[in-house]
Amino acid sequence: MTKKLLLINPVPKNDVNLGKMLSFMRMPPLNLGYIAALTPKTWDIEIVDENIRHYNGEEADLVCFTSMTYNAPRVYELASHFRARNIPVVMGGIHASMVTHEALQFVDSVVVGEAESVWHRLVTDFENNNLQRVYNGERGSLKNLVQPRKDVYSRKYNIRNVIQTAKGCPMNCDFCSVTAFNGGVYRQRPVEDVLDELETIDSKLVFFVDDNIIGYGKNAEQRSIELFKGIIDRGLNIKWGSQASINFVDNEDVLKYARESGCFGLFVGFESLNESSLKSMHKVRNLESGVGKYREEIRKFQNYGIGVLGGFILGNDEDKKDIFERTSDFILDSNIDGSQFSFLTPLPGTNLYQRLKEENRLLYTYYPHDWIYYDVFNVVFRPKNMTPEELEEGALNVYKATASVPKSLRRAFTSLVRTRNVLSAVAAYSSNRGYASIFSRKYGSR
Ligand code: SF4
């Protein structure tokens, strides 16, 4: 009899999160597309992405959850329902990899690290009634990867084509768990493999989910140029967005070919307007040019028709109460297209978590329940120079000052004038309003 694998991207009920609020940027969970592709063809596969709809009692022979920290309690809640019916539950993803001992209390099996290298063995073990408690994934080469199964994705995503071209980051920023999860080596897929995958897509809007599309070092930068040129040479005619470090603007060829290949916008982690905060985060790339260059760098992106969605982290130890007004002023007078403000969040597996724990500054430690607060939109630690309430209030005020409906419209218009790119302006408006609505739902009643 055909067996059924249920793959679930969990989202806490009533949660106000990015996947729900940023509908313009709603995308399928790529890791589950890879798991589907690596599962033997004899299996039926269904993906339940709770950003689209909640789990509704579907039956399965085997269930696999992906996890981030904030949604781990939802995994454990659903896992208990499946296990009560003797349906084995597997959990992978970054949270299960960082706190494996916790996950093992709630699920049958945990995949630690990248699942691609162990998934086939796991399924075989299940079929032989020999499921192991832990599978340690290896960080393998990204050559000749299978193509993720897009046919199992819902049709309700605005961006259906999610593609990864590289993994890993050598920077190991204080607050980020990418290095711990994907390793400190920047591993790249061959350009031709990525271009071949792009040939198979069914719509022209693409998001490259790399943490940094131009990578680290000159060789990686040249590879990104080759990728962009390849998109142009093959006449793929796509529109794409991604994430990049700020030194994307240092090489005019990177900007030129990115734009010509269809880049409409990039998420860039500016992180802070305090250089002392950047130092404590170990945000080396940003410090190389310095905060004083941020405006000029934003303008360079825009001159090439690329909108910038800047990420800013509030609540660093060096932030005093003036950070809110300084940040709002910067956002408005730099004319950055989009902006995301989040709270410094100590995620398990990061240096930051370890430090704040040792300093006894974590506010929510009733785990696993309290992981729901670790979604970057709640203050989960005691800041140094203000109270948690002042930090929340200050962030809400930054959103009010920069992303109200009139302000977001004005910023989208400026984005259009500067980038001459309608898609950049639309992305800027919808991201500004999406993030603002998360904050107003959480804190707007104050
Ligand atoms: S924040 Fe970016 S640069 Fe820093 S470790 Fe994470 S992925 Fe790397």
Task: List the single range of 17-31, 215-229, 374-388 with lowest mean pLDDT.
Answer: 17-31
Q: What is the pLDDT of residues 149-180, one digit of tens each?
A: 999 999 999 899 999 999 999 999 999 999 99
Compute, in degrees rounded to 10, the torsion defined by CA atoms 245, 421, 292, 434. Answer: -70
Q: Select from 94, 167, 173, 213 the residue to mutate for testing ligand 1; criterion: most ligand atoms less than 8 Å from CB.
A: 173
Q: Select from 164, 177, 179 the residue to mutate for testing ligand 1; criterion: most ligand atoms less than 8 Å from CB.
A: 179
The ligand 1 atom nearest the CA atom of 243:
2
Per-residue model confidence (pLDDT) at position 257: 98
Distance of alpha carbon 35 from alpha carbon 79, whole angstroms: 19
Cα 3 to Cα 35, 39, 41, 43, 111: the distances in Å are 15, 11, 10, 5, 21
Distance in Å, CA 269 to ligand 1 centroid: 9
State the pTM of this model.
Answer: 0.94
Instruction: Order the strands of the 239-244 sheet from edge to edge.
Output: 161-163, 205-208, 239-244, 263-271, 307-314, 338-343
Distance in Å, CA 282 to ligand 1 centroid: 10
Secondary structure of 80-125 in HEC code, one letter for each residue: HHHHHCCCCEEECCHHHHHCHHHHCCCCCEEEECCHHHCHHHHHHH
Query: Within 13 Å, how many C-alpha atoms sit on residue 318's CB side?
Result: 12
Q: What mean pLDDT value characterizes the chain?
A: 94
Distance in Å, CA 355 to ligand 1 centroid: 18
Nearest to 277 by CA among 216, 323, 237, 244: 323
Residue 368: cis peptide before it, omega within 30 degrees of 0: yes
The ligand 1 atom nearest the CA atom of 285:
3
Express as a percent the part of the chain with pLDDT over 90: 89
Compute, in degrees rounded to 10, the torsion defined by CA atoms 71, 316, 265, 403. Answer: 90
Task: List the single range of 82-96, 98-112, 127-141, 431-445 with lowest mean pLDDT.
Answer: 431-445
Ligand 1: which residue has its CA nearest to atom 2? 211
- Numbered ranges of CATH 3.80.30.20 in the chain: 156-443
Based on the number of CB atoms within 10 Å of its own CB, is 248 exposed (0-12), middle (13-18) or buried (19 or more)? Answer: buried
Q: Are 263 and 278 in contact (CB under 8 A)?
A: no
**CATH number among 3.40.140.10, 2.60.40.10, 3.40.50.2300, 1.10.150.650, domain 4-136:** 3.40.50.2300
Q: Are 25 and 430 in contact (CB under 8 A)?
A: yes
Q: Are 164 and 197 in contact (CB under 8 A)?
A: no
Nearest to 171 by CA among 284, 291, 269: 284
pLDDT exceeds cutoff 90 at 226: yes
Distance in Å, CA 350 to ligand 1 centroid: 11
Based on the number of CB atoms within 10 Å of its own CB, is 101 exposed (0-12), middle (13-18) or buried (19 or more)? Answer: exposed
- Residue 403 CB less than 6 A away from ligand 1: no
What string of DSSP letters covers 373-421?
A: G-SSSS--B--SSS-HHHHHHHHHHHHHHHHSHHHHHHHHHHHHHHH--
Per-residue model confidence (pLDDT) at position 26: 86
What separation, in Å, do the N-terminal and C-terminal C-alpha atoms of the chain show? Answer: 57
State the helix-helix crossing angle for 119-127 and 30-38, rounded to 10 degrees.
Answer: 50
Distance in Å, CA 173 to ligand 1 centroid: 5
Task: Work out the pLDDT band at 446, boundaries 50, 70, 90.
Answer: low
Q: Select from 174, 177, 211 the residue to mutate for testing ligand 1; criterion: most ligand atoms less than 8 Å from CB.
A: 211
Backbone dihedral region for residue 308 (phi beyond 0: left; psi -120 to 50: alpha; all else: beta): beta
- Residue 32 CB less than 6 A away from ligand 1: no
Q: Which fold has domain 156-443?
A: pyruvate-formate lyase- activating enzyme (3.80.30)
Distance in Å, CA 135 to ligand 1 centroid: 26
Distance of alpha carbon 248 from alpha carbon 210, whole angstroms: 14
Backbone φ, ψ for residue 307 (5° rounding): -80, 150
Distance in Å, CA 172 to ligand 1 centroid: 6
- Residue 386 CB less than 6 A away from ligand 1: no
- Residue 179 CB less than 6 A away from ligand 1: yes
Q: Are 15 and 57 in contact (CB under 8 A)?
A: no
Distance in Å, CA 291 to ligand 1 centroid: 17
- Numbered ranges of CATH 3.40.50.2300 in the chain: 4-136
Residue 150 in tokens: 């897009």
- Residue 213 CB less than 6 A away from ligand 1: no
Q: What is the pLDDT of residues 317-349, one digit of tens each?
A: 999 999 999 999 999 999 999 999 999 999 999
Instruction: Order the strands of the 4-9 sheet from edge to edge.
Output: 44-49, 4-9, 62-65, 89-91, 109-112, 134-136
Per-residue model confidence (pLDDT) at position 248: 96
Task: Work out the pLDDT band at 440, boundaries 50, 70, 90.
Answer: confident
Task: Work out the pLDDT band at 1, boundaries 50, 70, 90.
Answer: confident
Q: Would you give the distance in Å from CA 224 to the centre of its chain?
A: 20
Contacts of 290 (CB under 8 A, 6+ apart): 275
The ligand 1 atom nearest the CA atom of 175:
1
Q: Are 246 and 212 in contact (CB under 8 A)?
A: no
Per-residue model confidence (pLDDT) at position 391: 97
Dihedral sign from CA coordinates of 151, 188, 216, 136: positive
- Residue 171 CB less than 6 A away from ligand 1: yes
Per-residue model confidence (pLDDT) at position 441: 85
Q: Are 292 and 243 in contact (CB under 8 A)?
A: no
Per-residue model confidence (pLDDT) at position 439: 86
- Residue 211 CB less than 6 A away from ligand 1: yes
Residue 280 in tokens: 């404590």
